[in-house]
Amino acid sequence: MGFEPKIIAFCCNWCSYAAADLAGTARMQYPHNVRIIRVMCSGMVHPELVLDALAHGADGVLVLGCHLGECHYQDGNQKALARSAVITELLEDFSYETERYEISWLSSSEPDRLVKAFTDMTERIRKMGQVDRP
């Protein structure tokens, strides 16, 4: 069997976590490679959480927040978006491919977008291979 990546998905309680629930109820299939971590807002995902995940066994990290303008904490997802630039720089500094990280937006009623995000990330990381750890 080939390489199977481990993907960490930080899912906002109000959108993607609820969408994952809906996907489960609707028996939609998504790759078993993804481990969901529920956060109250995408704005809570600090850059070190992404680096820690990659350092401790994850091959890719997804952050899925509410659509811009729809964050329950007003501008949490705007902060998450601003942090994305920092995360990308840090990944480069630590010699990780920047494609191992992705941020995206969806609503609780869009389980299809969640499944697509999980599937696309898994396929991409599967092609890239395992993280090079010292």
Q: Which residues of the shown chain bind ligand FES in the complex (CB under 6 A)?
A: 12, 14-15, 41-43, 65-66, 71-73, 76-77
Of 104 and 122, CB closest to ligand FES: 104
Of 73 and 97, CB closest to ligand FES: 73
To ligand FES, the closest distance from the beta carbon of 11 in angstroms equals 9
Residue 42 near residue 80 (C-beta atoms within 8 A)? yes
To ligand FES, the closest distance from the beta carbon of 89 in angstroms equals 22
To ligand FES, the closest distance from the beta carbon of 71 in angstroms equals 3
Beta bridge partners of 64: 11, 104
Of 26 and 68, CB closest to ligand FES: 68
Of 5 and 76, CB closest to ligand FES: 76
Tell me the CA distances in angstroms from 118 to 6, 42, 78, 91, 95, one per residue in order.
11, 16, 22, 20, 24
Helix 47-55, helix 76-93: angle, nearest 10: 40
To ligand FES, the closest distance from the beta carbon of 58 in angstroms equals 21
Using left for φ > 0, alpha for ψ between -120 and 50, and beta otherwise, residue 40 falls in alpha
